[in-house]
Amino acid sequence: MDFLTSPEIWIAFLTLLALELVLGVDNVVFISILANRLPESQRRRARLVGLSLALVMRIVLLFFASWIVGLTDTLFGIGPWEALQISGRDLILILGGAFLIYKAVTEIHHKLEGEEGHDSGSGRAGTTFSKVILQIVLIDVVFSLDSVITAVGMVDELVVMIAAVVIAIGAMMFLADRIGRFVDRHPTVKMLCLAFLVLIGATLLAEGFNVHVSKGMIYGPIAFAIGVEALNLVYRGRAARRAGRYEEPVHLRSKYVEQNEASTLSAPKGAVEER
């Protein structure tokens, strides 16, 4: 237990905790986006189940961290280039990064190019709780891999890594509902977090092709962008209060619209007016 009195360990622990919190917020945002496809009565349960699974997967992967990091034997190579000699670890990172980029870019496209209309609270038709949880599990696996690789690169003590992960996920579980409501009220934050997912996915891809990217180079700009957006939100809120008006947030589009909404959108203008 000597590590409890080591300043270096405490500094590493606090740094790791900060990184886990940043990664955890992005995890919560994407879980909330997926959960919003469900009826409102099921969303909170989906968020809690998703975060619980994230915690379990992170702890399990931490116990196998040395094995995952040690998957360095080349499985196959493309040409003579060293960056294209793919090991088991590289393959996991490449697939995880590609999946994260795909999900984030697809979600951004749906939000900007999808059908007009916003969530009515009844969820997407045909979406079941199990389907959403399956997608959340896949996202959790990718985030957990990034979390574990980050932890292993910073701290040697397994207990310290588990403590940072448990505290970060515990905080996210406590704040999940508030974060979900906050992100729904502020679409710019949602788009910013989706952009972060693309950045994290690109980092995993780069690591998979043996291009080392410092975590500080990634999480530093993310923290800076969050700070700038926080200042913007405070400024807009104060400006609206001084003007004595309420600013209705911009409603992002959705690929998934209720049937009656879809028929209204597709109906001729005259038919809508007759109603």
Write the pLDDT tens digit of every residue in 48-61: 888 888 888 878 87
Give the span between the Cα atoms of 130 and 198, in whole angstroms.
Answer: 25
Q: Looking at the predicted structure, is the pLDDT value of residue 271 above 80?
A: no
Q: Which two tokens stand for residue 210?
A: 């043996």
- pLDDT for the residue numbered 272: 46
Q: pLDDT tens, 115-141?
A: 544 544 555 555 678 888 888 888 777
Band of the pLDDT at 106, cuts 50, 70, 90?
confident
- pLDDT for the residue numbered 246: 56
Q: pLDDT tens, 201-259?
A: 888 888 888 887 777 777 778 778 878 888 888 888 787 777 776 555 555 555 544 44
- pLDDT for the residue numbered 12: 72
- pLDDT for the residue numbered 29: 78
How does DSSP classify residue 5? G
Q: What distance, in Å, lies between the first and last C-alpha atoms of the chain?
A: 73
- pLDDT for the residue numbered 265: 44
Among residues 19, 45, 2, which one has the least CA distance to residue 180? 45
Highest mean pLDDT among 144-153, 177-186, 230-239: 230-239
Higher pLDDT, 228 or 267: 228
Work out how many domains the chain is built from and give that number.
Answer: 1
Q: Looking at the predicted structure, is the pLDDT value of residue 260 above 50?
A: no
Mean pLDDT computed over every residue of the chain: 73
- pLDDT for the residue numbered 266: 46
Which residues lie below 8 Å from residue 270, measured CB to CB, with a gap of 6+?
none
Boundaries of domain holding 138? 2-274
Question: Letter for the amino acid at 259?
Answer: Q
Q: pLDDT tens, 61-70?
A: 777 776 776 6
Give the span between the Cα atoms of 53 and 69, in whole angstroms.
Answer: 22
Query: Which residue is associated with the tokens 């999900």?
Result: 103
- pLDDT for the residue numbered 136: 82
